[in-house]
């Protein structure tokens, strides 16, 4: 790293009062190592994408996303397809990418790890969707993208309560969704392969996972998922039973989950999802925790499209 921009969300996470001091300390570590560094504060949603693009045009060779997975997601949109590296300083409530890279800890310690990091080319996911106005859109994602109940949970997250309660709010909203959501089916269309045509599966929830671990209590949700994987690792819930959902999630929290007829683990380079004919409910879609719109959706892998700062010893 020679020239770096730190893009940070001043209200990300539960400890926003400490944010400014953490950013200043991180800048000091980088500058003492001979790196030209500046900090850019986001004012509104989506601004991090614009700031990252401007920092690239100004000659930065790395952008550090200082926040949670939402901040990473915004910065990511400008960096895919370029040679500018993405680094992560975890300051948010959800820090799945940072956890996957072994970058959980004090910002100063993380900054020192990033100084030793190896720029590594990885593949990212891409989701094509329909926004709430009916317009087509697409986003890159690096943690996960989902259709169904998980997107509904994200849509119900109040920003103020999230800063105060952190992961407790996730648990509250997951419980509320589990108790009240009807888990309607939609169609997931797997592509054709050398063995014949595509396969259509009725599912009530689909989650495309890119990271090996989400960190914390939810560790290896999708075995085989990896930033180095050329395929999407898909969790397909082929059930509307609340008890089967609960059984799987409790087993996943204990690290003892298995896959069967109700919950299938799939590997595929792409997949399309569409509503059933006559479906009354418009299912939401999300990527990296950001609610984007609704069906129809196409998910795919964009190979070797992002340079990521990977610290020594990490196995993303």
Q: Which residues contact 180 (CB under 8 A, 6 or more apart)?
A: none
Rounded CA separation 262/204 (Å) = 10
pTM of the predicted protein model:
0.91
Lowest mean pLDDT among 48-52, 209-213, 250-254: 250-254
- pLDDT band, residue 171 (cuts 50/70/90): confident
Mean residue pLDDT across the chain = 89
- pLDDT band, residue 316 (cuts 50/70/90): low
- pLDDT band, residue 258 (cuts 50/70/90): confident
Task: Give pLDDT, residue 124.
Answer: 97
What's the distance, CA 87 to chain centroid? 14
- pLDDT band, residue 241 (cuts 50/70/90): very high
φ, ψ for residue 301, nearest 5 deg: -105, 135
For the chain, the structural domain boundaries read 3-116, 125-303
Residue 7, strand partner residues = 40, 65
Task: Give pLDDT, residue 277.
Answer: 77
Residue 256, pLDDT above cutoff 60: yes
Task: Give pLDDT, residue 214.
Answer: 77
Task: Give pLDDT, residue 17.
Answer: 61
What is 125-303's CATH number? 2.60.200.40
CATH architecture of 3-116: 3-Layer(aba) Sandwich (3.40)
- pLDDT band, residue 197 (cuts 50/70/90): low
Task: Give pLDDT, residue 4.
Answer: 97
Q: Which residues contact 181 (CB under 8 A, 6 or more apart)?
A: 149, 152
Average pLDDT over residues 310-316: 81
Task: Give pLDDT, residue 224.
Answer: 85
Residue 35, pLDDT above cutoff 90: yes
Residue 13, pLDDT above cutoff 60: no
Average pLDDT over residues 126-136: 94
- From residue 17, give the alpha-carbon distance in Å to each of 9, 20, 164: 12, 7, 12
Task: Give pLDDT, residue 223.
Answer: 85
Is the fold of 3-116 the same as that of 125-303? no
Average pLDDT over residues 181-203: 83
**Which helix (H) or strand (E) is 153 found in, with range?**
helix 149-155
pLDDT digits (tens, 9 = 90+) for 62-113: 999 999 899 999 999 999 999 999 999 998 878 889 988 999 889 999 999 9
Average pLDDT over residues 154-175: 79
User: Regarding predicted confidence, which is higher, 136 or 219?
Assistant: 136
pLDDT more than 90, % of the chain:
63
Residue 15, pLDDT above cutoff 60: no
Question: If you write DSSP's letter for every residue of 105-140 in order, what string do you get?
Answer: S-HHHHHHHHHTPEEEEEEEEEEEEE-TTS-EEEEE
Residue 186, strand partner residues = 203, 275
User: Regarding predicted confidence, which is higher, 254 or 121?
Assistant: 121
């Amino acid at each position: 790293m020679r020239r770096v921009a730190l893009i940070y969300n001043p209200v990300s996470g539960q400890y926003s009062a400490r944010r400014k001091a953490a950013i200043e300390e991180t800048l000091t570590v980088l500058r003492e190592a001979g790196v030209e560094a500046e900090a850019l504060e986001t004012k509104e949603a989506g601004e991090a994408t614009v700031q990252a693009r401007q920092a690239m045009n100004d000659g930065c060779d790395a952008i550090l996303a200082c926040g949670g997975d939402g901040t990473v997601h915004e910065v990511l949109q400008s960096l895919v397809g370029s040679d500018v590296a993405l680094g992560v300083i975890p300051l948010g409530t959800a820090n799945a990418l940072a956890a996957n890279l072994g970058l959980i800890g004090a910002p100063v310690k993380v900054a020192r790890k990033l100084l030793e990091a190896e720029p590594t080319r990885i593949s990212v996911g891409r989701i094509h969707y329909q926004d709430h106005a009916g317009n087509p859109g697409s986003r890159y994602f690096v943690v996960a993208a989902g259709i169904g109940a998980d997107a509904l949970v994200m849509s119900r997250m109040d920003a103020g309560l999230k800063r105060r309660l952190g992961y407790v709010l996730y648990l509250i909203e997951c419980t509320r969704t589990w108790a009240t959501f009807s888990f309607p089916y939609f169609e997931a269309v797997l592509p054709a392969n050398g063995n014949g045509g595509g396969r259509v599966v009725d599912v009530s929830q689909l989650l495309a996972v890119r990271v090996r671990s989400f960190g914390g209590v939810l560790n290896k949700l999708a075995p085989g998922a990896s930033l180095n994987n050329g395929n999407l690792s898909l969790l397909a819930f082929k059930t509307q039973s609340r008890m089967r959902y609960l059984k799987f999630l409790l087993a996943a929290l204990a690290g003892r989950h298995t896959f069967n007829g109700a919950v299938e683990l799939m590997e595929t380079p792409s997949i399309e999802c569409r509503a059933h004919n006559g479906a009354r409910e418009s299912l939401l879609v999300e990527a990296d925790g950001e609610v984007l719109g609704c069906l129809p959706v196409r998910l795919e892998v964009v190979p070797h499209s992002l340079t990521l700062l990977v610290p020594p010893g990490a196995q993303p």
